[in-house]
Chains A and B, each alone.
Chain A
Amino acid sequence: MLIQELVEADGVSGHEGAVREVLIKAIEGCADEYRVDALGNLIVVKRGHGGGTGPKSVMVSAHMDEVGLMVTYVERDGTIRFSPVGGIDSRVVLAKRVRIGDERIPGVIGVKPIHLLEQAERGRVLRFDQMGIDTGMAPDEVARRVTPGTYVAFDTAFQALDEGGLRTVKGKAFDDRAGCAVLVELLKDRYAFDLYAAFTVQEEVGLRGARVAAYTVAPEVAFALEGTVCDDSPKEKDVSPTTRLGAGPALTIMDRSVVCDRRLVRLIVKEAEAAGIPYQFKQPGIGGTDAGAIHIQKEGIPSAVVAVPCRYIHSPVSVMSLNDFDHAVRLMRGALHRLEGGLEA
């Protein structure tokens, strides 16, 4: 399964090469050309057949990068100090396994045994600068093989949790390899317009890849595909779950980075209803995506966001439903064909 191959590759923001290689293999035979730009974006072009009265060029983006860690310093005893890359809650990395650099050296983020903790320490959250990675290697070997700037990814396996029913799977980096996998599926179809599939870099550190990709492509319409927040776990206060697992792809009305183009949102909803595909609106105001950078390029690009709900994103292990994934593929494919007839005002 492509999604498995994608999440088992490591691509922390700024070091997305391994993910890009998987994608280049996956799109072979279903596109006309591709290029890798100065930042590392993979931009794939699928020429249109020219019919229709709608836009002539459409860009659909999904980001290849994931949150992770970077080595900042190697202590004299071989302990590796690190900083987060992208938004990570320091509470989720304690006592986890990681893999370091392209060699994928295994390491653990150790923690003081509970037996030696004072009562007050048990209630204290550790900061990143108070943690270290232990590789078991001798200090001189660590110093030789792990230099400051080396990227570190969570060591999490992909696996099906529920084979039937919800068809849930777990793994790291569904944000946004889920979007990448949807985008590859979209490339297998042909549209009236030229489809630019932009697999972007550096979303997690400021939407930087999408910005230059949109500038280059300068499409008439754009979509961003995401693996988005799904906070439907139980909690004491009644707050919105942002999205619900298994309830269909999530459409963004507005988040911190973009107010989506109403016409595009309506078009997607129409497609969902016509095709009987479940969908949901993401709780407004949460998070931001590449669409935030895309829609303000040049003179402005109408943009929308379609996302697969993913629980526990930005942690070592997230969960999504392959039903939502399949529905996102169907919905986006249908919406793109609907767009061939143009946008209604």
Chain B
Amino acid sequence: MQVAEFLKRISEASGVSGAESEVAGIVAETFGGLATRVQTDALGNVIAFKEGEGLPSGEHPRIMLAGHMDEIGLMVTKVDGAFLRFTTVGGFDVRTLLGQEVTVHGRRRLPGVIGCRPPHVLSGGENDEVVPIDQLFIDVGIAAGTLAELVEVGDVVTIRRDAVDLGRGHVAGKGLDDRASVAAIALCLELLGRRHHSWDVYAVATTQEEVGLRGATTSAYGVAPQAAIALDVTFGNQPGVPEGQTLAMGGGPCIGLGANFHPALHERLVATAKQHEIPYQIDPTPGRSGTDAWAIQVTREGVPTALVSIPLRYMHTPVETVDTHDIERAGRLLAAFIAELDDAFARALSVQVKKLGAQGGQPC
């Protein structure tokens, strides 16, 4: 699999939280070619099932991989003459929207721009102030009457930015949070096609992560896995951000450590990385991870969960940047980890019920 090519293809597809169908179509087709079967649930999650060979006992424990395919975007709130007013879907830095190109998903797709007043007409000091979102507007270059027939309140707007190769295997584009992980999962499925594995694999491209981890919530309930690994992006090192808050671009996948993650899964991931000489980093996460792992961990009776993250710069902007080497390493790490899942590990993760003999039910 050409990771960079696949990544760019899904980056350029549309998939604002709650409206993921276009990107979901590409993902379902790709995952489908690499798995036993693929299905879509009520929230739009794409769930690929890759059957394992089973344990000697005949059991088929399930491991779930989850990476979200939704992206942050905008939504039309008002058709204002020849212009459109909008709100955000997911967390935008409003400062990055000025002068940005967009696609309005109206009756047809309308290319547009978020306009900005030229410096010539700004009064002194005006350019020292951030333009609040209620003063921003989208211009699709269409006259007022026609526009009202083409666009309605509630129409989704995506940021319009093709993906580009930068130096050293870096790729910049929109929606790489978290389609970098979707690419890593696809690579993992491809690698597993050439290896034996006893556990069943459920590879899920989740929806609505950016508005509250909702796709992960329902898909984890549906799969009911014995273990899960969420994949997401984390802050890559960049100028202006202290080193302690970031991880190294090109330093390898980051393995989460903290309350959200099962210690046995964490240790096993680290051991696998070491054994296969895959560079990795530790991502300390004191509390809420803010990822699908947070929702998956508390599904049903609780799911042993881990998090593997890919360093990414400029998160939640149209120029999100990742190092494709990190994606490849994440895919290899997952495949090696899954291929080595066995009976003993299934037992180590399972809940042990200890019988207390004849006094059961009696107060001590």
Contact = CB atoms under 8 A, between A and B. Distances in A.
Interface of A: 75, 77, 79, 87-97, 106-117, 122-126, 130, 132, 134-138, 141-142, 156, 159, 161-162, 165-166, 168-170, 229, 231, 233-236, 239, 242, 246, 286-287, 311-317, 319, 321
A316 B99 contact: yes
Contact of B83 (A87, A141, A234): A234
Given A91-B127, A112-B240, A130-B240, 7 more contacts: A94-B95, A111-B95, A113-B93, A115-B235, A161-B111, A286-B121, A312-B118
Contacts of A229: 118, 120-121
Contacts of A124: 130
Contact of A89 (B127, B317, B319): B127
Chain A interface helix/strand/loop/mixed: loop
A140 to B, nearest CB: 11
Q: Which 3 A-B pairs have the closest CB atoms?
A: A136-B166, A168-B141, A137-B167
Nearest to B126: A89
B111 A159 contact: yes
A183 B89 CA distance: 45
Given A97-B172, A138-B167, A111 B81 contact: no
Contacts of B113: 170, 312, 317, 319
Nearest to B138: A233
Contact of A135 (B112, B131, B141, B166): B166
Contacts of B116: 89, 91-92, 312, 315
Contacts of A93: 99
B167 A108 contact: no
B60 interface: no
A138 B235 contact: no
Interface stretch (B18-26, B27-35, B186-194, B308-316): B308-316
17 contacts: A88-B119, A89-B122, A94-B96, A95-B319, A106-B165, A110-B321, A111-B317, A112-B314, A113-B241, A114-B93, A132-B240, A137-B167, A170-B101, A229-B118, A231-B117, A234-B137, A317-B99
B83 A136 contact: no
B322 to A, nearest CB: 10
B168 A138 contact: yes
B92 interface: yes
Contacts of B95: 91, 94, 111, 122, 125-126
Contacts of A239: 121
B85 to A, nearest CB: 8
Nearest to B84: A234
A319 B141 contact: yes
Contact of A114 (B92, B129, B142, B238): B92
Contacts of A242: 120-121
Given A97-B161, A111-B95, A112-B240, A319 B139 contact: yes
Interface in B156-171: 161, 164-170
A96 to B, nearest CB: 7
B99 A315 contact: yes
Given A77-B239, A229-B118, A136 B139 contact: no
Given A95-B100, A125-B130, A162-B141, A136 B168 contact: yes
Contacts of A109: 319
